[in-house]
Structure 1
Amino acid sequence: MELQQAGPIGVFDSGYGGLTVFKEIIKKLPQYDYVYLGDNARAPYGVRSFDTVYEYTLQCVEALFRLNCNIIVLACNTASAKALRNIQQKDLPKRKSLQRVLGVIRPTTELLGELTRSGEVGILGTQGTVSSQSYVIETQKFFPEVKVYQEACPMWVPLVENREHDSPGADYFVKRHLNNLLSQSQGIDTVLLACTHYPLLMEKIRAHTPGHIKIIPQGEIVAGSLEDYLKRHPELDALCTKGGGREFYTTESVDDFNSKANIFLGQPVNAKYLHL
């Protein structure tokens, strides 16, 4: 085992959406140092193949390792669905270290069955996440009796990233996909927002969803899961520096990132450019 130097926790997303998860992580665990990396130059990942998403995600994970991150959270549903398993099973074993890469799907599905009373849940996500069937497969592992229904919402990410999520036009796409999902079963009582962009559409999603249905964003779940993971793995917690530092990197325009990041994080950022 290599001697490792302590460093920040890495948080990765294909773009801006992971900042909604990052926001909840730093709220729950403010004492840690963090590095956030958005691969904005190659976003969105949701429409790309499994092989491409794996290649891009691995490159970004390796970049975060070079920035001395020992724990990396893939705060991206598409990367978690299409790349995490390969990275955990093929790539990490080659590294003689305690470095770990975590995703957002498993911690969410570990709780999903406890959130529904009817035993029927709906998943709203990107085309990549939905077609991977990851939420269906993982939920069945923990709660085999729960029925999972899915709906891909390809227009929702562009609406958010182009600052149209509050516009009247967004209502059409929100209502359309919610209707598509809920028409699959009258028993759905819990809907998961399986994309980190979607919490910004929460007001409209809530307006077009019957009041008895719970709408679940992932940020708090992932933050709570990371806190629990660090408690259960003190040897990894010891490799995380705790100075309350925050660094942001993007593979695209720094000015664009700084401008749009504020929408997701709710505070100004000063990002640096990272060449992969």
Structure 2
Amino acid sequence: MKGPIGIFDSGYGGLTVFKSIVERLPQYDYLYFGDNGRAPYGDRSFETVYQYTWECVRWMFEQGCPLVILACNTASAKALRSIQQKELLQNYPDNRVLGVIRPTAETIGAFTQTGHVGVLGTRGTVRSESYPIEIAKFFPEVSVSQQSCPLWVPLIENNEHESAGADYFVKKYLDELLSGRPDIDTLLLACTHYPLLVSKIRRYLPAGISVISQGAIVASSLEEYLNRHPEMAARVATGERREFFTSGDAASFEEHASAFFGSAIEARAVGGFQK
């Protein structure tokens, strides 16, 4: 029986990735789940992020998703490997879970001329060291400098990202990252919320620094994955359906989601996810 591709995020940010995926692969059915009732994930422990992420992925499997994309850097950093190596092998051997870090690491080296990349992410993503580790596998010659931006997600989630007050924190974290590192020429937005701040980010960057968002990279990687694995592509429904679910309030999700997804959506709330 065929089912939708699942797109998971701790909240709204994954909708920026989902938007790019739908633009590139519109033929498939998709189910988006945002764990807004327990967001944000950025400062939570590895154990908690793993528990929350696996509960949500399992729920998506139960809805018929044969393939789930963790469109969340924190979940990809703290939960993906354990889910792949433990839960899938033991409980869902025919299903697959993919993340956003590896496909980004596989391509980021092509964007830099100086060989020095800056990574902007949540505390959880930065502390995991996932990006320096993964990028080194594909581009050992590339230097990676990281900067956590703990206030960016709350600003975005509270619709304050367009405010003048947000400028202070955008400039603050960029200055901290770039201080003493004049050769950084590429900035990776390693949180799927951050594209909503891209205009402000570019405002405070020196000329010559490019800003890379993950949506198009992940969408291209998913297309390649399905081409390499026709057995999985055959299990994905192609009715162009889009369903949206949240562990939080559905009305609030709908109100915020359009800024991330680019169009109005209808969401349903799902209970049973305990903090």
Q: TM-score range by the shorter chain?
A: over 0.9
Query: Which segment is superposed worse, 9-18 or 89-98?
Result: 89-98
* Alignment equivalent of 2:249, drawn from 240, 250, 253: 253
Matched, 1:163 2:141: no
Task: Give the letter for the 2:21 counterpart.
Answer: I
Matched, 1:186 2:215: no
| Alpha-carbon distance in 2 for matches of 1:217, 1:38 | 20
Checking the alignment, whether the CA contact within 8 Å between 1:249 and 1:274 is kept in structure 2 is yes
* Alignment equivalent of 1:267, drawn from 245, 263, 269: 263
- SS in structure 1 opposite 2:19? helix
Quote the offset at 1:96 in angstroms.
Answer: 5.1
* Alignment equivalent of 1:76, drawn from 68, 72, 85: 72
Quote the offset at 1:266 in angstroms.
Answer: 1.3
Match of 1:23 in 2: 19
Query: Which segment is superposed worse, 89-98 or 245-254?
Result: 89-98
| Alpha-carbon distance in 2 for matches of 1:39, 1:217 | 22
Query: Which segment is superposed worse, 92-101 or 172-181?
Result: 92-101
Checking the alignment, whether the CA contact within 8 Å between 1:127 and 1:154 is kept in structure 2 is yes
| Alpha-carbon distance in 2 for matches of 1:184, 1:112 | 22
Structure 2 residues not aligned, in runs of 5+: none
Check 1:96–1:20 CA distance in 2 against 1; reply closer, same or farther (3 A cut). closer
- SS in structure 2 opposite 1:89? helix
Match of 1:204 in 2: 200
| Alpha-carbon distance in 1 for matches of 2:108, 2:194 | 17
Matched, 1:236 2:268: no
Matched, 1:87 2:58: no
Quote the offset at 1:172 in angstroms.
Answer: 0.4
CA deviation profile, 1:136-175 (whole Å, cap 9, x unmatched): 1000111111100000000100111111111111110000
Match of 2:55 in 1: 59
Alignment length (residue pairs) = 272
Checking the alignment, whether the CA contact within 8 Å between 1:149 and 1:184 is kept in structure 2 is no
* Alignment equivalent of 1:49, drawn from 45, 50, 61: 45
Match of 1:33 in 2: 29
Task: Give the letter for the 2:234 counterpart.
Answer: A
Check 1:109–1:190 CA distance in 2 against 1; reply closer, same or farther (3 A cut). same
Checking the alignment, whether the CA contact within 8 Å between 1:193 and 1:199 is kept in structure 2 is yes
Match of 1:144 in 2: 140
Quote the offset at 1:184 in angstroms.
Answer: 4.2
Q: Which runs of 4+ in 1 moved over 3 A?
A: none
Structure 1 residues not aligned, in runs of 5+: none
Q: TM-score, normalised by structure 1?
A: 0.97
Task: Give the letter for the 1:67 counterpart.
Answer: Q
